[in-house]
Amino acid sequence: MVDVGSASIPTAIERLALSCRRAGSPISIGLEPCEEYLPAGFRPDIGGYERFLRTVVDATAGQAAAYKFNLAFFEALGASGVELLYRVRQQLPPDTYVIADAKRCDIGSSARRYAQALYESLGADAATVNPLLGRDSVEPFLEYSDRLSFLLALTSNPGAADFLAPGALYRRIAEAASAWNTRQNCGLVVGATQASLAAEIRKAAPSLPFLVPGVGAQGGDLRGAAKAARAPEGNVPVLFHVTRGILPDKGKSCDPAAAILEKTRNWRSQINEAVARVTGGTIE
């Protein structure tokens, strides 16, 4: 905690931990306007996508520790998609923890504008950041001491084997992120499909929160990732992300909101059980 007079202000990492405890589960839910994700009865246009995203949010209210906007899906829809992004963001309750999945990276002056766009204009609490251009490309994000920047360490896609895995580049990224974490606002993206290597990343970054995608449709190892990502201090949040895994089954007639809630509760149970195995039952 940061002391300001007699008051204590939570660090960016502590804010995520508080959100996980408030939700009762470290689950992040994805918000992506994608035609393939739409349940029956939802049109593949801006109106249909907005109705779909509102259905996901309304059905999972109080269930999720965070919502993660994948900006690519919104930007692909053009100006109306960007307007949709901001409209849905503004409709979320004030205490909603919002992650902007943007994977931004550029030289310092451009990175500063990217950070401003995500943390000021959009009002995200956290963002994903590509660190491969080095510290000067990441520092503009870290200057926002009350926002959490998740650096890509080892992603969940097969292409992680091209650059991030060979030579253990992921470990160098984790070590650098630990050194850059002077404001307690730096985290790492560690895919659940890379659970066998997550323990090595955790050793290199013992106090950083992890954002763990890939536990759902990508077939990642939830239990293995939860075990490997466990921080030695025991109070560092590890957030598990699901998007497609909470959506209604294609071609099955159902109440979309009820189906989304049921699947979300099922994922909460699985995640909480995996976490409990390594924390003694504490949700962090």
Q: Domain holding 22: CATH number?
A: 3.20.20.70
For the chain, give the mean pLDDT: 93
Domain-located, residue 180: yes
Q: Work out whether strand 98-104 and strand 210-212 pair parallel, antiparallel, or are unpaired.
A: unpaired
Domain-located, residue 245: yes
Bridge partners, 7 (sequence order): 4
- Where does the pLDDT of residue 228 fall: very low under 50, low under 70, confident under 90, or very high at 90 and above? very high
- Where does the pLDDT of residue 253 fall: very low under 50, low under 70, confident under 90, or very high at 90 and above? confident
**Helix, strand, coil % over all residues of the chain, rounded to 5:** 50, 15, 35
Domain-located, residue 254: yes
Total-model pTM? 0.94
Domain-located, residue 1: no
Domain-located, residue 88: yes
Quote the domain boundaries for residue 176. Answer: 10-277
Q: Kindly tell me the sign of the dihedral angle through the C-alpha atoms of 72, 207, 180, 11.
A: positive
Angle, CA of 108, 109 and 114, to the nearest 5°: 90
Own/partner contacts of 49-52, CB < 8 Å, gap of 24 or more, are 49/77, 49/84, 50/84, 50/87, 50/88
Q: Quote the number of domains for the chain.
A: 1
Is the pLDDT higher at 46 or at 217? Answer: 46
Among the residue ranges 133-142, 156-165, 245-254, the one predicted with the least confidence is 245-254
Please give the single-letter amino acid code of residue 64: A
Domain-located, residue 284: no
Domain-located, residue 136: yes
Q: Please pick, among 68, 103, 250, 263, the residue that the annotation labels catalytic.
A: 103
Mean predicted confidence (pLDDT) in 175-196: 96
Among the residue ranges 18-27, 47-56, 98-107, 275-284, the one predicted with the least confidence is 275-284
pLDDT of 7 above 70:
no
Catalytic-residue membership of 103: yes
Q: Kindly tell me the sign of the dihedral angle through the C-alpha atoms of 70, 72, 75, 77.
A: negative
pLDDT of 152 above 70:
yes
Mean predicted confidence (pLDDT) in 100-116: 96
| pLDDT tens profile 194-210 | 888 999 999 999 999 99
Q: How far is CA 23 from CA 64, 65, 177, in A?
A: 6, 5, 27
Domain-located, residue 3: no
Residue 175 has a CB neighbour count (10 Å cut-off) of: 14
Q: What is the pLDDT of residue 251?
A: 73
